[in-house]
């Protein structure tokens, strides 16, 4: 998952970025003001935007209005020092999905961020089941036929993204865009390496192919029953 943090307090922005990387295994970009935040939000695909309300150049409320006015439905979590009813109503009416009042508990922040990440992919439960595979994005636990398996951090991130997009065809480019931030140099075969590792660890225990390749197009995580008659690799 890839998150944009728009926050002018540099220390807070870095703390949020660190906790998202460490506790939600997200790639994180940051922006110091509303104009830069709006530019980044419209230049790359994000799974969540964490947006301060009181920002230089363009405030958070205006950023939300412009994003929603462009038809962009990325979940937005507002951070605000103001909790007056009128402000909250304006934020929600403008298209904010949730808000936290500063100062906030970092554990609560992570829980709300993860909930919005799931909701943005149409998944409300933290446990995603695909045939014999279970992926829990709260505990980051992965089980196949009841047996826990150990994945590297990047293997888990690839699997989690595919699980939250279960059944959909996900291109290599989409995976790269949602798993890495602006600072990463994207090497062509890295996704194939992670997918190969996932197949080796998962599909023997599953007794079936779960990560299907549509040649030249991408990957789809689904059970053999769900794959049906589609020509897959």
Q: What would the pLDDT profile of 54-82 be if each residue is shown by its tens digit?
A: 999 999 999 999 999 999 999 999 998 87
pLDDT of residue 84: 74
User: Greatest CA separation found in the chain?
Assistant: 56
So what's the architecture of 2-120 in CATH? 3-Layer(aba) Sandwich (3.40)
Domain residue limits, the chain: 2-120, 127-227
pLDDT interval class at 228 (50, 70, 90): low
Q: What would the pLDDT profile of 117-168 be if each residue is shown by its tens digit?
A: 988 887 778 899 999 999 998 888 999 999 999 999 889 999 999 999 989 9
Which of 3.40.140.10, 3.30.200.20, 1.10.10.10, 3.30.70.600 would CATH assign to domain 127-227? 1.10.10.10
Helix (H, G, I), strand (E, B) or coil at 230: coil
Q: What would the pLDDT profile of 199-212 be if each residue is shown by its tens digit?
A: 999 999 999 999 99
DSSP secondary structure letters along 58-91? S-HHHHHHHHHHTT----EEEEES---HHHHHHH
pLDDT interval class at 232 (50, 70, 90): very low
Q: Are 73 and 67 in contact (CB under 8 A)?
A: no
Helix (H, G, I), strand (E, B) or coil at 148: strand
């Amino acid at each position: 998952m890839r998150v944009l943090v728009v926050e002018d307090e540099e220390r807070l922005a870095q703390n949020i970025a660190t906790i998202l990387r460490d506790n939600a295994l997200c790639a994180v970009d940051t922006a110091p003001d509303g104009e830069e935040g709006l530019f980044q939000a419209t230049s790359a695909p994000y799974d969540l935007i964490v947006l301060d309300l009181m920002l230089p150049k363009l405030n958070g409320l205006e950023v939300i209005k412009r994003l929603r006015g462009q038809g962009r439905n990325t979940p937005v979590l507002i951070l605000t020092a103001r909790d007056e009813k009128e402000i909250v109503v304006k934020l929600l009416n403008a298209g904010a999905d949730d808000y936290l009042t500063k100062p906030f508990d970092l554990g609560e922040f992570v829980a709300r961020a993860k909930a919005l990440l799931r909701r943005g992919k149409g998944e409300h439960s933290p446990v995603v089941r695909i045939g014999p595979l279970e992926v829990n994005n709260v505990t980051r636990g992965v089980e196949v036929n009841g047996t826990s398996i150990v994945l590297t951090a990047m293997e888990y991130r690839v699997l989690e993204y595919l699980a939250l997009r279960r059944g959909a065809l996900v291109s290599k480019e989409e995976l790269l865009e949602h798993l890495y931030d602006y600072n990463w140099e994207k090497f062509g075969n890295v996704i194939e390496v992670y997918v190969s590792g996932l197949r080796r660890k998962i599909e023997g225990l599953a007794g079936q192919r779960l990560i299907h390749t549509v040649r030249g197009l991408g990957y789809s995580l689904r059970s053999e029953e769900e794959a049906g008659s589609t020509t897959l690799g």
